[in-house]
Structure 1
Amino acid sequence: MKIISSKDNPQFKDLKQLAGSSQARRRAGLTLLDGVHLAQAWLQHRGAPQMCIVAESALHHPEVAPILEQCERSRVLCLGLPDNLYNAVSQVENGVGLLLVVSTPNPKAPQALTESAVLLDGLQDPGNLGSVLRSAAAAGIGQVFCSAGTAAAWSPKVLRAGMGAHFVLDIFENAELELLCADSRIPVLATSSHAAQTIYDCDLSGAVAWLFGHEGQGVSPHLQEAASHEVVIPHLGEMESLNVAAAAAVCFFEQVRQRTVGR
């Protein structure tokens, strides 16, 4: 382990820039995983990180020490920071004191939709995006396509909300959703509060692509037209609509229900 004690250290400066700038992360093709849970999930599903950073106070933490040992065995660069320097990098208050720097996955996009997927049109809130990813992974959906206007899927905030879902999904950013809809070999279902058909009327026993839109504006009109069907989640209370993350979870698990117990 290399110990860094000065804020003027070049490696610390690079690390601080990565933590604070989405542009720096994008240029470097790297992102940061903060905390034990994300670190364990990455090591389980993706292997060794690029770098492991540990706060001085966490060096002997019972959950941190095994992760640090595993990284050292894999010859990963491990940096120890005094707590004040570590806190200048971490975005989590009262965290455990562990960060991994990892390469942002860049899977090759399929030419057409053939398996259950999620299409996200301009989703803005990192918490909503992370929750959608988490629900998709839990429902066994393997692919997520994000339009150019969607929040950065691999930002630290989305990663924390996703709770490790990123590592079992293929996530495609800056996707051309209209082309995906046009070339899709499976039904594309766009959620709309004005649709006549409910999700419970749909046959979800096979593969489908779910299309969700911006938190306030919903799915854009041109994509709504490109979808195979418009569907609605019926509700009894006097609310106009559901939060998009809640709506996605309802849709995904109605699909799970139909695929496991039938319609």
Structure 2
Amino acid sequence: MKTITSRDNPLYKELKQLAASSQARRKAGRTLLDGVHLCQGYLTLRGAPVHCIVADSALANPEVLDVVRRCEDLHAHVTALPDPLYNAVSQVDNGIGLMFLVDAPVRAIAGPLTQSAVLLDNLQDPGNVGSILRSAAAAGITQVYCSAGTAFCWSPKVLRAAMGAHFVLEIYENVDLAALVSSATVMVLATSGYATRRLYDVDLRQPVAWLLGHEGQGVADDLLALATHQVVIPHLGQIESLNVAACAAVCFFEQLRQNQA
């Protein structure tokens, strides 16, 4: 284990940039996982990080120490920071003092849609994106395709909201969704508050590509026109529509329910 005490250290400067800037994360192809839960999940499902960063005070925590030792066993770089330096990087209030520097995978689309997937059209709220990733993973959907306008999936806020779902998903970013939908060999269902066909009236006992749109504007008109069906989730009361993350969860688990019935 090494120790950094200077703010001018190159690694520390890199950590500060990655913590503060989505553009820096995209350019570097790297991101930060902050917290024991995310780091444990990454170790279990993906292996060693590029770098393990730990606050001096956190070394007294048994869970943190176990993660540090696992990293050292995997010959990963481990660096300790004085608490003030660590806290200046961490974006988690009252965090436990552990983070990983990891590569953000860049995936090339291998072919047309042939299995259940999630298509995110211009979703801009990181919390919504992370929640959708978590619901998809829980429902057994492993492929996620994001348009260029969608929040960067490997940003710290999305990572925290997804709670480790990233590590069991195949995530594709900057995708031309129109081309993807046009070549799909599975049913593409777009959610729309103006649709007349109810979600519960569609046979979901087959692969489905779920097309979900912008928080305020919904799925773009050109993509709606390409979808196999537009579906609505019926609801009662005065609320105009569901939050997109809640809508996604209802859709995914209705598909799961039908397949397990």
**TM-score normalised per structure 1:** 0.98
- Per the alignment, residue 140 of structure 2 pairs with 140
- Per the alignment, residue 242 of structure 1 pairs with 242
- Per the alignment, residue 154 of structure 1 pairs with 154
Q: Tell me the CA shift for residue 110 of structure 1.
A: 2.9
Q: Alignment partner of 1:101: what SS?
A: strand
Q: RMSD between aligned alpha carbons?
A: 0.8
Q: Alignment partner of 1:12: what SS?
A: helix
- Per the alignment, residue 11 of structure 1 pairs with 11
Q: 1:162-201 alignment to 2 at 5 Å?
A: 162-201=162-201
Q: Tell me the CA shift for residue 15 of structure 1.
A: 1.5
Q: 1:1-263 alignment to 2 at 5 Å?
A: 1-261=1-261
Identity among equivalent pairs (%): 63
Query: Structure 1 regions of 5+ residues with no counterpart?
Result: none
In the alignment, the residues of structure 1 paired with residue 166 and residue 56 of structure 2 have an alpha-carbon distance, to the nearest angstrom, of 28
1:47 is aligned with what amino acid? G
In the alignment, the residues of structure 1 paired with residue 38 and residue 170 of structure 2 have an alpha-carbon distance, to the nearest angstrom, of 17
Aligned length: 261
In the alignment, the residues of structure 2 paired with residue 193 and residue 93 of structure 1 have an alpha-carbon distance, to the nearest angstrom, of 37
Q: Alignment partner of 1:154: what SS?
A: coil
Query: Structure 2 regions of 5+ residues with no counterpart?
Result: none
In the alignment, the residues of structure 2 paired with residue 215 and residue 248 of structure 1 have an alpha-carbon distance, to the nearest angstrom, of 12
In the alignment, the residues of structure 1 paired with residue 25 and residue 152 of structure 2 have an alpha-carbon distance, to the nearest angstrom, of 11
Q: Alignment partner of 1:105: what SS?
A: coil
Q: Tell me the CA shift for residue 7 of structure 1.
A: 1.2
In the alignment, the residues of structure 2 paired with residue 195 and residue 15 of structure 1 have an alpha-carbon distance, to the nearest angstrom, of 46
In the alignment, the residues of structure 2 paired with residue 13 and residue 222 of structure 1 have an alpha-carbon distance, to the nearest angstrom, of 43
In the alignment, the residues of structure 2 paired with residue 240 and residue 103 of structure 1 have an alpha-carbon distance, to the nearest angstrom, of 40
1:183 is aligned with what amino acid? S
Q: Alignment partner of 2:60: what SS?
A: coil
1:95 is aligned with what amino acid? G
